[in-house]
Amino acid sequence: MSRTLADLRPVHVVGVGLHPYQRPSDAPYTRLGAHAVRAALADARLAWRHVESAYTGTATTSMGMSRLMYRHLGATGIRMAQVENASASGSTAFRQACVEVASGLADVAIAVGVDKPLSLTFPQRAAGLHDLVDGRVAPFTHFALLAERYLHDHGGTPEQFAAVAVKNSRNGALNPNAQRRRPRTLDEVLAPPRISGVLTRLQCCPIGEGAAAVIVASDDAIARHGLDRGRAVTVLASATRSERVYDGENFDAALTRETTGQALAEARVTAADLDVVELHDAFTVEELLYVEAMGLCPPGRAAAALAAGEFDIGGRVAVSPSGGLLSMGHPVGPTGVGQIAELTTQLRGEARDRQHPGARTGLAHMVGIGAVCVVHVLQRA
């Protein structure tokens, strides 16, 4: 029988750092990544030489990029590997760092996400696969079709999808690391152009560049290096699954339901225990689909719960207090690591204007092209 993270020794997030997400620029990725790593080291009050292994989540930049980035921090002989898992690349890098520490292979490990949108390709052509539409159904069309199906199944209006972007723009305006930092009204979100179906431009996430870093450590490392245990946040669960064949059900939501259920079970908490959730909201409809799949509200009730303020900062559970992918941005490799940084900041009570009161337990969720899903549960002492 396979073991879970909870069966191994405890893993704690001890340092987080980000380079603000932004539109593509001339800045080299090495500068973005090193900035985030140095910020995480300063946050943990830890020296680079004490980090034993590094996993770099990246999907749109280049092969072999870790070496050029980490040498700016010092040639320590650190173990390093790059992780590509589509939008879940950073989440998977974080999982690998956690597994190293939990298993005892390392006492201190770092997960870094960094990307510049230089090479965004999909595998179908290389696999020799062809379909009836020859790849013309882009991700935004896929989710526009899911939005239409949601309206058919549950009723409602396009304005209810747009309300997700309004909430998340309000949160992103409070986040100094967000790419979109302007609160938007419902009319602004609904304004043309439409990208596909009911989805307008502001209902689709921006893909730019940036970096995020998270350091994880064992209890032994916290004691040995004199780290602040009061700011350490424990990783209760790390779950990852790939899609199955689903009988007519939306595979994005079904995969989210299965993976979230596994993570909550491993963490020995329920959806009702969650205070903060960072989820994969690349398009507005995804938030409604995923909060229902996670069990945060009954099927078909997400729009009503959103309108009632249940998912606001200060509501029943804060959903995407960072601004989510819609406002924080989605530079791909950094996104999942950045979610962990946001949860850690919230659970420490250090999120300032966007702090969710009394946050103790948080969940991070990312889907990678629908094929994979990664979910983590974190909790402060």
SS3 annotation, 225-254:
CCCCHHHCEEEEEEEEEECCCCCCCCHHHH
DSSP H or E stretch at residue 283: none
Average pLDDT, the chain: 94
**Order of strands across the sheet that contains 276-278:** 79-83, 53-57, 108-115, 209-217, 12-22, 233-242, 372-380, 361-368, 276-278, 318-319
* pLDDT greater than 80 at residue 123: no
Domain chopping of the chain, boundaries? 5-119+207-233, 137-177+236-380
Tokens encoding 135: 């790849």
CATH of 5-119+207-233, one of 3.40.50.720, 3.40.190.10, 3.40.47.10, 3.30.420.10: 3.40.47.10
**Nearest Cα to Cα of residue 70 among 85, 54, 59, 89:** 54
For residue 129, what pLDDT band results from cuts at 50, 70 and 90? Answer: low
* pLDDT greater than 80 at residue 134: no
* pLDDT greater than 90 at residue 117: no
Distance CA 203, CA 145 (A): 14
* pLDDT greater than 70 at residue 106: yes
* pLDDT greater than 90 at residue 1: no
Residue 130 pLDDT: 66
Considering the chain, what percentage of its residues have pLDDT values greater than 90? 86
Cα of first residue to Cα of last residue in the chain, in angstroms, is 29
250 vs 133, which has greater pLDDT?
250
Distance CA 227, CA 217 (A): 10
DSSP state letter for 183: -
Is the fold of 5-119+207-233 the same as that of 137-177+236-380?
Answer: yes
Helical residues (DSSP H) of the chain, grouped into ranges: 29-44, 65-70, 89-103, 124-127, 139-154, 158-172, 186-190, 219-224, 251-267, 284-293, 302-307, 324-327, 335-348
Residue 35 pLDDT: 98
Q: Mean pLDDT throughout 103-124?
A: 88
Distance CA 379, CA 232 (A): 9
Q: Mean pLDDT throughout 117-136?
A: 66
Find the range with the poorest average confidence among 69-78, 90-99, 113-122, 177-186.
113-122
For residue 132, what pLDDT band results from cuts at 50, 70 and 90? Answer: low
CA dihedral 344, 350, 356, 360 (to 10 degrees): 50
Q: pTM of the full predicted structure?
A: 0.96
For the domain 137-177+236-380, what is the CATH superfamily, name and number? Thiolase/Chalcone synthase (3.40.47.10)
Bridge-partner residues for 278, per DSSP? Answer: 364
* pLDDT greater than 90 at residue 360: yes
Q: Mean pLDDT throughout 142-164?
A: 92
